[in-house]
Each structure stands twice: as structure tokens, then as C-alpha cells.
Structure 1
Amino acid sequence: MRESAAERHDRLLALVRERGTARVADLAVQLGVSPVTARRDVEALAGRGLLDRVHGQVSWPGSAAGQPGGAGHPAGAEALSAAAGRGPVIGLLAPSATYYFAEVIRGAREAAARAGARLILRISDYRPEDDRARTEGLLASGAEGLLVAPGWRAPGDQAEHGDWIAELPVPAVLLERRAEPGSALDGLDRVSSDHRHGVLLAVRHLVGLGHGAPLLVARADSPTALAVRAGYARALRVLGLHAPGPVVDSVPAEVEPEGFEAAVRALRAAVASGTATAALVHNDVDAIQMVQRLAELGVRVPEDLALIAYDDEVAALADIPLTAVAPPKRQVGRLATELLVERLAARAAGAPGRPGGVGSAAGGEGEDRMADAPRHVTLLPGLRVRASCGAARAGSDAAVREAATGPSV
């Protein structure tokens, strides 16, 4: 199976994180790619703020280039934490450091910096069976609190690989993940996007333009993908609509080209038969590639098919800028970190609470007890209207229509 760019980026980040600093030429050898590809990857990651570049070398953000034991080097974690003497060390477990989670991580980094805290990162590569070991690595590196975004992919992953999170010995906040009601994880603090609301925005917008219910084209390989699917069914119920056909299963074109082509052909057939005049596609990359392939098959966007993408990572960069649902990724990372810092400060001050960051019922009365209660913070995605749905105003991205992104508890 051919490695995707996102997987290669995660390997590159892991190498730099381990070394603290590295030459681009050496990274090309380690990754088994050409120097041109390595430079392109480095430029992309540096542009996202995930790496620092200096004279043919790259370093982990905040590390001292060329010095072992810098901030990006595991051996320097405890020494730097003690030297800083300003704030706590926060560990972040993420399934990836690219695409969707790059912005989540950036928000967490910004909030940690404002609080004088140090953020250290571990990547699970969407292998939930490795989450626990990665988290233990964060604790061994001195993490005093944890932001945890498990690498769940399938519906049963939470039950099989999640209960240990509720037993962590330090305060923890579940990040961009929702626990099953009544599960051990449901009592943890968490900050997440409301993908059901995001899907509802997209469906309502397309219906408002005169289309029937859009066809959903979606993956099924991540919690976000599964939430989009569930949100689609809910949106149709709320709006009194019927799906024009079964959900079209999508897969990454670079990993499963035959499956991707089958999804494109299914969407083309729905347009040709008049079954659907609009589609919601998760995610941006799939949507961009589908628009390109549909054009080759004679289907024009937006003339023949109005299309909205879900994620808004690269949607604006398509030949035909894509209208997209934009989860508040950066705000999720920021607010989760602020909540964790608050929990750590309360713990340092001797406030009652139990491990895992959940307030204790044995706390004070009235408002004090409520302040210690676990929080489930949900942020609302927005809709950014561009050309692909046929409703963009002049100036494209100037026509941004977003829902409020304030927290709802």
C-alpha cells in the first residue's frame, strides 16, 4: 500500500521531534524520498508552524537548533521544565500532526505559551492500540496534565481502547472526541466540535439554494467521519428531507484508487440520473480530487452539481474554491488547553478533585462545587461560502457566513 503524504509528514515530524534538529538531506534518506520531496514536505510543515527552518536544517519549534536536549528532544524535557520554572508541562496525544489536527495543535501551543506552560507532543498515527504507550511516554517526559485525542477509527475502538484514559494519574481533557454516554470517559472534561451542527449548516444552505437533499459522500475511518455520517441522518430528520440515495463510501485516492473511482462514478451516476443536484463531501482532499475527476467525466461544479466540502483545510485552494464547513479546530485546541491549565492551577492550590481532571463532589458548596464539575464544551462549526455551491458573492472568501463559535455546555 502506497504511503500517503500525511503519513510521510507524520514520519518526518517524528524524526525531527526525536532529534530536536535535522538536516533536510538526512531526512530525505531516512524517509526514502528524493531531496525535492523532503524539501517540499518541510516547507509545508514549516508553513503550518509545525517545524522551524534554518539554513538547510529543520528543528522542532522552540528547540535550540543543533543542541541535543533542546525543547524538541525528549532528553531535555525535565531539564527545560525545571529551568523555565514558570508553568506546567502539558502533554498532548494526537492521532496526527498534519491536516485537521495541525490547527488543533497550533491552538494548544498558543494557549500553552500564553500560560507559560510547555507543550510536548506524541503522535499515535491513528493506531488506538498504541495510545496508552504514547501517553505513558508523555508522563515519563514530565507531563503534569494531558490533552488526549485518541487515535480511534472504528466505532468499537473507544470501548476496546479507551477506558484507561479515565484512570490517568493527572488531570486530563478529552480533545475533539466524544465519549459514549454512561461510559467511564463520559465523566472527563472534554472540548470538541459539534459536527452535527456543521452538517446541518451545509444541508440547510444547499436546500436554501433550491436543491433537494444533498447526497453525502464520506469516509468512515475517523471519529469526525462517523460524526458527519450521523449528523447527515439527523439533519435530514430535522429538515424533513429524504436522502436521494445511500451514502457514497469514499476512500483516499492515493491509498485505494479503485475505491475512490467507484465513489466518483456513483456520484456521477446520481447527477446523470437527476437523483441529486448537490453533494456534501468529507473531506476537503477527497472533494478537490472528486471535482477534478468529475470534470474529466463531463460533470461541472457548480453548474451540474453544487458541492460543499467538510473540514475547510485546503478547500479554498481548489481550482473552483469550495464552499466548506469549517470546524473551529484552533479554538478547540486553545480552549482545551485553557481548561487544563485551570485544572492544574486548582490542583496546585490544593483544590479538591480526583485524578483525570474531574472535580470532586466532595468540594465546596454552591458555586465552588459547580466550578469543580466536569465540563463538556462544544464549539459550533461555521460555513464558508465560496464558488462550488454556485452562491459565492464577488470576492469569494469575503462571503463568509459562519455560525457563532462560542462554547455551549
Structure 2
Amino acid sequence: MRESADERHDRLLDLVREQGSSRVSDLAAELGVSTVTVRRDVEALAQRGLLDRVHGSVSWPRSAVAAAGPGSPPGGGGLVLGLLAPSATYYFAEVIRGAHDAAAQAGARLILRISDYRPEEDKARTEGLLAAGAEGLLIAPGWQAAGDQAAYGDWMSELSVPAVLLERQPAPGSPLDDMDRVCSDHRHGVLLAVRHLIRLGHGTPLLVARADSPTALAVRAGYDEALGALGLEQPRPVIDSVPAELDRGRFEEAVRAVQAAVTTGGVTAALVHNDVDAIHLVQRLAELGVRVPEDLALVAYDDEVAALADTPLTAVAPPKRQVGLYGTRLLVERLSTGPRGRPLGRREQEEPGQHLALLPRLHVRVSCGAAAPR
């Protein structure tokens, strides 16, 4: 079976950690791939803070070595923490960076595996982290649909090591509801956006959102709650958003629905999940004669690339880096409660479990500056 990029990344990180530093050409020979492939891998890992690059050589991050203390080996003699994430790009790149920073501060080694949003592989990837020596786990399952937790998640309640869920909220009363978790409060983020648009003088904003991730589902639920809290009525059903690159036809349907809401329905504001979909939407609406912000005040959700749009987009920014940072600190705290190699179980611990909800922020830019409705 052909080795995946994630598996190659794991091997590359293991080699650098063991050797302290290595030349790209040597790594290519040991991995059995081209130097071009290794350079590309090193670039990706360096951008996530997992490696340092210096003139054709690669080394273990200086921050991790320093945190481990003088005289420590590159991998450190401290804890080994495993992180399972559905992706290493877009939203989760910042979560990983926060976890890496917190692990370095604690003198711990962080090892990463990626599920590519395939929840059926979460368990096997996690077993790989444990086999690699992880003493505690940070887990962001690859759930996408509402039923994925029930279908693919119960195994996490039986883990033999401490674990913290990241950016996932299990169903109340489910086996995973007792686990420690650190999440962005997306409902609060949606409330910030809706309230901001209302204060600008607009009627109830339209919601344009995906339905293919826990964040998307939380945004939809938060929209209903925000309208109830503010005493607003929904102007029309939520418009289903689809990535333009995946289904151009359905994306065009969403654009036309927004256009109709603005031109014939009196809608003057919208909240769009996520940044990339919002940028595509604004570009296509301009071609159809609907201008942002003149005709439509728009707020995006995620704030990954919103500021880079032609018309910089006002956006809700979940505290992604802090999710990784706080989750790792909580995991290190859990591991410190028992003898090394035998963390205490929940019933033996004096400290209660924790569900941390971190509040998003609203970054106001040009796209929400449309005048009050005519």
C-alpha cells in the first residue's frame, strides 16, 4: 500500500527528533523519496511550527528543546502528547499551533496524526498515536454529519490514558459527555454577528451556511438561538452553502437565492459560513449586480482569510489557537495528577472534569458597512 503524506510526515518528524538535525538530502535517502518531496514536506511542517529550517538542514524546534531544559535530548525526557486532528490546514492549523506552543512550554513532545475528515479512521489513527508513545491525547474527531459521533465516537470513552476533546461537543448524556473538552462557543459567535448587523440598522440577517462539519451545525443552531434571544423572526429559510469547487451548480443556486433575497425580498444583511464560501459569494454577487457592502452587509464566519478579500470581510473569529493551547495545558494537568506512566483515572482524581467554552471575537471590516435598509 502506498504511504500517505501524513504517514511520511510522521516518519520525517521521528527522524529529525532522533537526530536533532538532518540535511534534506539525507532525509530523502532515509525516507526513500525525492529531495523535492522532502522539501515540500519540510515546508508544510515548518509552517505549522513542528520543524525549524536552516540553510538546507532541518532541526527539531528550538522552543521545544529549550522547554525541555539544558542537556535534554531533542525529543526531551518529558511527556509525550498525541494530537488527532481532521486537517492540518485552514481552521485546524491554528489549533495545532496552539497545542504545539503549549507542549513546548511544558517540555513535552507533541506528535500529530491527521484523519482527513474520515471519522471511520479516527480510532486507528489514535491507536497509532498510542503506539508511538503518547501518554495523553488531544482529539478533534473527523465528524462531519450529525450521526458521526454515535457511529464512530463511543470508543473514546474507553481510552486508557487521559484525553481532551477539541472543538467537539458530544451529545448531552452520551458516553463522551463526561470527557474533558475545550471548544469555541460558536453560538456566542453567531450572536455577536447578528447583534452587530441589527445595531447597524438592518433587519434580520440571512444565514448562508454549510452543513458538513460540527462548526457548520453549531453555527446553524446558534442562528436560531440568536434570533430567539434578540426577538427576531427568520426572514427566510437558511440557504445551504456548498463549496464552489465541489459543486458549481449547487453553489450557483445558493448565489441566486441570496440575489433574490436582496433584490426582491428586502434582505440587506447576511452571515456566511465560512470565509472561502463568503469570498466566492461576494465575487459572484458582484457579477450579478449585488454589491457588498452597498447592497448587502456581510459577515463571514471563521476569520481565516476574510481580511484578504478584495472587500475585506467583517468576520467572527473563533479562538482557534487558544483551543489548542488551553486543551494541551488541561491535558498536562491531568497527566501530572498521577505517577508517571500511570495517570490517575477520573474517579481517583480530586479535580472535577472540565468543559471550557472559549468566546469568539468579531473583527469589524469593510463588508458590513452598508447603509441602513431603504
TM-score by length of 2: 0.84
- 1:340 maps to 331
Letter in 2 for 1:378: A
Matched, 1:382 2:361: yes
Q: CA RMSD of the aligned region, Å?
A: 3.0
Partner in structure 1 of residue 68 of structure 2? none
SS at 1:199's partner residue?
A: helix
The answer to whether structure 1 residue 166 and structure 2 residue 157 are counterparts is yes
Contact between 2:76 and 2:107, CA under 8 Å: does it hold in 1? no
Aligned to 1:154, what secondary structure does the other structure show?
A: coil
Aligned partner of residue 347 in structure 1, secondary structure:
coil
Q: Is the 8 A contact 2:296 2:370 kept in 1?
A: no
Q: Secondary structure at the match of 1:294?
A: helix
Change in 2 beyond 3 A, CA 1:39/1:233: farther
The 2-side partners of 1:292 and 1:232 are apart by 24
CA offset at residue 83 of structure 1?
A: 6.9
> 1:279-301 CA distances to partner (integer Å, 9 max, x unpaired)?
00000011111111111111110
Q: Write the distance in 2 (CA, Å) between the matches of 1:391 and 1:277.
A: 8
Task: Provide, for residues 34-71 of structure 1, a one-character-per-residue CA deviation record: whole Å limited to 9, x for no partner.
Answer: x8x999998677545466555578x6x7279xxxxxx9
**1:152 alignment partner in structure 2:** 143
For the pair 1:62 / 2:60, whether they are aligned, the reply is yes
Q: Aligned-pair distance for 1:122?
A: 0.5
Q: Residues 94, 286 of structure 1: CA spacing in aligned structure 2 closer, same or farther, 3 A cutoff?
A: same
Identify the residue that residue 309 of structure 1 maps to in structure 2.
300
Distance of 2:105 and 2:189 partners within structure 1: 29
Residue of 95, 101, 126 corresponding to 2:92: 101
Equivalent position to 1:240, from 222, 231, 239: 231
- Report the CA distance between 1:237 and its aligned residue: 0.6
> For residues 305-328 of structure 1, what are the alpha-carbon distances to aligned partners after superposition, in whole Å with 9 as ceiling and x for unaligned?
000000001111111110000000
Change (3 A) 1:39 1:339: same
Indicate which of 164, 171, 190 corresponds to 1:199: 190
1:237-386 to 2 correspondence within 5 Å?
237-348=228-339, 353-354=344-345, 359-360=346-347, 369=350, 372-386=351-365
Q: CA deviation at 1:86?
A: 3.3
Letter in 2 for 1:383: L
- Closer/same/farther in 2, CA of residues 122 and 325 from structure 1, 3 Å limit: same
Q: Counterpart of 2:337 in 1: which secondary structure? A: helix
Structure 1 window deviating more from structure 2 (13-22 vs 84-93): it is 13-22
Residue ranges of structure 1 left out of the alignment (5+ in a row): 1-10, 65-70, 72-80, 364-368, 393-409
SS state of the match for residue 388, structure 1? helix
Cα 1:56–1:87, aligned 2, differ >3 Å: closer, same or farther?
closer
Correspondent of 2:9 among 4, 16, 20: 16
Tell which deviates more after alignment, 343-352 or 372-381.
343-352
Aligned residues: 344
Query: For residue 82 of structure 2, what is the aligned residue in structure 1?
Result: 91
Whether contact under 8 Å (2:190, 2:222) holds in the other structure is yes
C-alpha contact (below 8 Å) 1:214/1:278 kept by paired residues: yes
User: Residues 124 and 130 of structure 1 are in contact (CA less than 8 Å); yes or no, is this contact kept in structure 2?
Assistant: yes
In 2: Cα distance, 1:306 partner to 1:44 partner:
36
Query: Displacement of 1:373 after TM fit?
Result: 1.0
- CA positional deviation for 1:257: 1.3
Alignment partner of 1:188 out of 166, 175, 179: 179
Measure, in 1, the Cα distance between the counterparts of 2:251 and 2:56. 37
1:129 alignment counterpart: 120
Q: 1:324 to 1:185 in 2, by over 3 A?
A: same
Contact 2:293 / 2:367 at 8 angstroms: preserved in 1?
A: yes
What code does the residue aligned with 2:251 have? F
The letter for the 2-side match of 1:62 is W
The letter for the 2-side match of 1:373 is P
**Change beyond 3 A, Cα 1:172–1:48:** closer
Identity over aligned residues, as a percent? 69
Residues 350 and 113 of structure 1: is their aligned pair in 2 closer, same or farther, counting only changes over 3 Å? closer
- Matched AA of 2:358: L
Could you tell me which residue of structure 1 aligns to residue 19 of structure 2?
A: none
Shift in Å, 1:348: 2.4
In the alignment, the residues of structure 2 paired with residue 264 and residue 14 of structure 1 have an alpha-carbon distance, to the nearest angstrom, of 39
The answer to whether the 8 A contact 2:312-2:365 is kept is yes
Letter of the structure 1 residue corresponding to residue 92 of structure 2: F
In the alignment, the residues of structure 1 paired with residue 266 and residue 109 of structure 2 have an alpha-carbon distance, to the nearest angstrom, of 53
Report if aligned partners of 1:103, 1:329 keep a CA contact under 8 Å in 2: yes
Write the letter of the residue equivalent to 2:368: C
What CA distance in whole angstroms lies between the structure 2 residues aligned with 1:294 and 1:374? Answer: 47
Report if aligned partners of 1:107, 1:333 keep a CA contact under 8 Å in 2.
yes
Aligned 8 A contact 1:175 1:191 in 2: yes
Q: Is the 8 A contact 1:385 1:391 kept in 2?
A: no
Which amino acid in structure 2 is aligned with residue 384 of structure 1? H
Match of 1:366 in 2: none
Measure, in 2, the Cα distance between the counterparts of 1:210 and 1:230.
Answer: 24
Structure 1 partner of 2:205: 214
- What TM-score does the superposition give when structure 1 sets the normalisation length? 0.77
Give me the whole-angstrom Cα distance separating, in 2, the residues matched to 1:19 and 1:351.
29
Moved over 2 A (4+): 11-23, 37-57, 61-64, 81-86, 348-353
